[in-house]
Amino acid sequence: MVRRTGLGVNLWPHTLRARLFVILLAGLTIAHAMSFAVLFSERYIAARSVMFNTLETDIATSIAILDRLPAAERASWLDRLARGSYRFVLGPGIPGDPVLTRADAEVADKVRAAIGAQYPIEVESVPGGIRRLQAHLRLSDGEPLTIDVTPRGVMPVADWLPFVLVAQLSLLVLCSWLAVRQATRPLADLARAADTLDPNSKTPRLSETGPREVAYAATAFNAMRDRIAQYLEERVQILAAISHDLQTPITRMKLRAEMADDSIERDKLIRDLEEVERLVKEGVAYARSVHGKDEKASRIDLASFVQSLAYDYQDTGKAVTVGELGDGTIVTRPHALRRILTNLVDNALKFGGSAEIELQRRADGTVLIKVSDRGPGIPEDQLDAVLQPFFRLEQSRNRDTGGTGLGLAIAQQLAIVIGASLTLRNRDGGGLAAELAIGAA
């Protein structure tokens, strides 16, 4: 991945895993290259030393042998006296350039030192594609002799060495990848656990095994998760306790207000107390929704369940209709599911005047229950916010318009409890559709 900046393209990887991999691989590759550079340097020095020692010891002996042999027998000895870096040629050789480079001059000095002053020589550089020198001299009988020298920088490399290099580099890549993966996997697990943190769900805890630092971080994260769950539990308990304790004084206040003389102020007070009572009841219902997981799951017929719910509304004169009904059964918590659908239908009736319930079963077995209305809908940027407790689009205190802000929050909370997902979306042509997706058991 590359990042474009104002100064150009930044090729530095974005992820920690990629950065560690690049750093580790680069370091190992450089160290590997330095090792081979030292190896080849040592081979060059060794080859150079062997070549000079050969020149100093063997050339003088070889020339002495050729000088003592009869002229007719010398040609048969040339191959016997040849070595890897030089050979002997009877004759004047090839004309060359007497101006030598520094490296060639060093070789020429070694040849002169090996032969000595008995045989004056001239060393020339032979033109061509390879480095080549020729030393010209005359034997005692005047016959010209040429020493054809081909200096070697390093010893020949074995044919299998490139394959070894490729295998070593592949091993470096594999080891680097494994090391980086081993180092960053706990961090990725921790980030994934933090991203999906939900104290109310039964997600598995982080494994507290591995290196000491990893185990300590996992233990700290699990402890933090337990504390958050405890804080949420205490918050809900406080809400439930306050809501429950408020019911008694509210009831006494309503009784006293109803016993008072008829007046406009008395009617206003009774309405206010009724609104407070509804709010308290919704608070208790929300607190209880967190504990909906205590209900045992059972198998129900969905079509009959939805129809029964719709008939209950129709018996009270509410405009609730049933659309498409899929068949089949599902294992779920029926009381929690009924409370979810009741809240969704109540919301549709309040803002749309009517509600339609549909039931579909997808190919993957997921059940989709849709409650639709033709009300004003919800602004797109607030579709998620309305599922939070005490959030109201209508900021009025009027129960008929603003509500308590807990109906959809209770439905959302209970959906999580039964392992479902609640999604709100605006309908084409106006209205809202609340979709409850329940996974196959």
Instruction: Tell me the CATH number at 433.
Output: 3.30.565.10
At 2, the pLDDT band (50, 70, 90 cuts) reads very low
Domain-embedded: residue 259: yes
pLDDT score at 397 = 38
Same domain, 164 and 247: no
Regarding whether 79 and 25 lie in a shared domain, the answer is yes
Domain stops at, among 251, 269, 294: 294
Q: Are residues 224 and 310 in the same domain?
A: no
CATH number for position 189: 3.30.450.300
Instruction: Tell me, yes or no, whether 28 lies in a domain.
Output: yes
Whether residues 105 and 232 fall in one domain: no
Helical pair 60-68 and 74-81, crossing angle rounded to 10 deg: 160
Same domain, 331 and 427: yes
Nearest 5°: the CA angle 48, 104, 43 is 20
Q: Clarify whether residues 325 and 382 are in a common domain.
A: yes
Identify the band that residue 441 occupies on the pLDDT scale cut at 50, 70 and 90: low
Residues 268 and 307 in one domain: no
- Which tens digit of pLDDT belongs to each residue from 67-85? 888 888 888 888 888 887 7
Q: pLDDT per residue over 325-380, tens digit each?
A: 877 788 888 888 888 899 899 989 988 889 999 988 888 878 889 999 998 888 88
Whether 247 is covered by a domain: the verdict is yes
Instruction: Note whether 189 and 46 are same-domain residues.
Output: yes
The residue range of the domain holding 262 is 197-294
Region 155-184 average pLDDT: 77
Give the C-alpha separation, 133 to 89, whole Å. 13
Question: Is there a single domain that holds both residue 190 and residue 271?
Answer: no
- What value, to the nearest 5°, has the Cα angle with vertex 231 and ends 226 and 235? 145
> Residue 412's Cα: distance from chain center in Å?
31
Tell me the pTM: 0.48
Neighbours of 110 (CB within 10 A): 19
The reported pLDDT for the residue numbered 291 is: 54
Residues 133-143 have pLDDT tens digits of: 888 888 888 88
Please identify, among 270, 294, 318, the residue that sits at the C-terminal boundary of a domain.
294
279 and 352 together in one domain: no
> Is there a domain that residue 52 lies in?
yes
Please calculate the CA angle 121-123-128 and round it to the nearest 5 degrees. Answer: 150
Residue 199 has pLDDT above 70, yes or no: no
Residue 398 lies in a domain: no
Residue ending a domain, choose from 263, 294, 325: 294
CATH number, domain containing residue 243? 1.10.287.130
- The verdict on 172 and 309 lying in the same domain is no
Within a domain: 163 = yes
Determine the Cα–Cα distance for residues 305 and 338; give it in Å rounded to an integer.
Answer: 8
If asked whether residues 126 and 241 sit together in one domain, one would say: no
197 pLDDT higher than 90: no
| Neighbouring residues of 408: CB distance < 8 A, sequence distance ≥ 6 | 343, 344, 347, 386, 387, 424
Nearest to 430 by CA among 370, 377, 356, 353: 377
What's the rounded mean pLDDT across residues 113-132?
A: 80
Number of structural domains in the chain: 3
The residues near 363 (Cβ < 8 Å, ≥ 6 apart) are: none
CA-CA distance, 218 to 317, in Å (whole number)?
A: 56
* pLDDT at residue 191 tops 60: yes
For residues 150 and 205, give the distance between their C-alpha atoms in angstroms, rounded to a whole number: 73
Name the pairing type of β-strands 3-5 and 122-125. unpaired
The answer as to whether 2 is a domain residue is no
